[in-house]
Amino acid sequence: MTASPSVIVAVPSGLRAEFFTEDDLALLGAAAAGLAGDGLAVAESVEDAAARFDLAAVQVVVIAWGAPRFDDGLLDRLPSLRLIAHTGASVKPFVSEACFERGVAVTQAGAGMARSVAEVSLAFTLALLHRIPRFDHALHAGAEWADAEDAPARHELLDAPVGVVGASRTGRAYLGMLRALGARVLLADPTIDDAEAEALGATLVPLSTLLAESRIVALHAPSLPETRGMIGATELATMPDGAALVNTARSWLVDENAMIAELRSGRIDAALDVFDDEPLPAGHELRTLPNVLLVPHKAAGTVEGRLRQGRIVVDEVGRFCAGESLLHAVSAADLERMA
């Protein structure tokens, strides 16, 4: 007889091992045992689960990147579904309005990524302050020692004016690191007030002030209609000579062509983990500029971060099965504002 599990972890085996320890899977199994059905099952994907199991009793599906969209057609095949738990952050590609219309709860584990991304933002910040990308590029390109030494003024992080755009999860983690290292932090975020900014160790200022006064501008805002292209040619032109841009958030926050024009001039530097075109084409100009540090969208994905993400999902499934409130729930309104 075909098994009819109550909880399915539909995550490819390699990725599943990054998210979940054996203890985590045991906890999921214990939670599943309290639901009607045949407990926990694992599969390589939702499609694999559909081929191997009877989906009639499935109440919880754990997914990862590459999952199908849970539209009416898929939901019809999962008549008992009550929770979709994503091991990543944005559920926009996977969750449809039909999920909320049918009373399916949604949760995600983006909070588990925050420290990893914040640490890369900090690494970018230090590298740019000390002009490491310029030195590294010059030496790799075969420049003479004296020529390789040629770079704009270098600075320490202590008392450096650092502007943070967005008090998101990653923004707050980054703010904590800056505060610990003694930076002078400016914050632009229309969703918080002066007291909240002060509690985060920052001074709340308009974006225009932040851009004009910061040695490092670090982007941690979400990609929303109102933030898309928020840093354009006009805004970039107000950054001081020798300043630098850190972007581990979304490329679309910045007009990429305007940014490249400023970088090409050598007036500012940048460290980037996100790009308009991914994978970044082999012949892209950003790959050639000596004042740009590039990472192939890998700020998240550390061993520790992946395990945190998995534990968030395990805890959320446990709460759900126990009839408790979710701590990382995604609402229909949240979905509208997700990238």
From 278, 285, 304, 324, the catalytic residue: 278
3-state helix/strand/coil string of the chain: CCCCCCEEEECCHHHHHHHCCHHHHHHHHHHHHCCCCCCEEEECCHHHHHHHCCHHHCCEEEECCCCCCECHHHHHCCCCCCEEEECCCCCCCCECHHHHHCCCEEEECHHHHHHHHHHHHHHHHHHHHCCHHHHHHHHHCCCCHHHHCCCCCCCCCCCCEEEEECCCHHHHHHHHHHHHCCCEEEEECCCCCHHHHHHCCEEECCHHHHHHHCCEEEECCCCCCCCCCCECHHHHHCCCCCCEEEECCCHHHECHHHHHHHHHHCCCEEEECCCCCCCCCCCCHHHCCCCEEECCCCCCCCHHHHHHHHHHHHHHHHHHHCCCCCCCECCHHHHHHCC
From 130, 137, 155, 297, the catalytic residue: 297
Say whether 220 is catalytic: no
Q: Is the peptide bond before 279 cis (omega within 30 degrees of 0)?
A: yes
Interatomic CA distance for residues 9 and 22, integer angstroms: 13
Residue 58 structure tokens? 């499935």
From 134, 250, 308, 328, the catalytic residue: 250
Say whether 278 is catalytic: yes
Say whether 156 is catalytic: no
Pair 277, 253: CB distance under 8 Å: no
Residues serving a catalytic function are 250, 278, 297
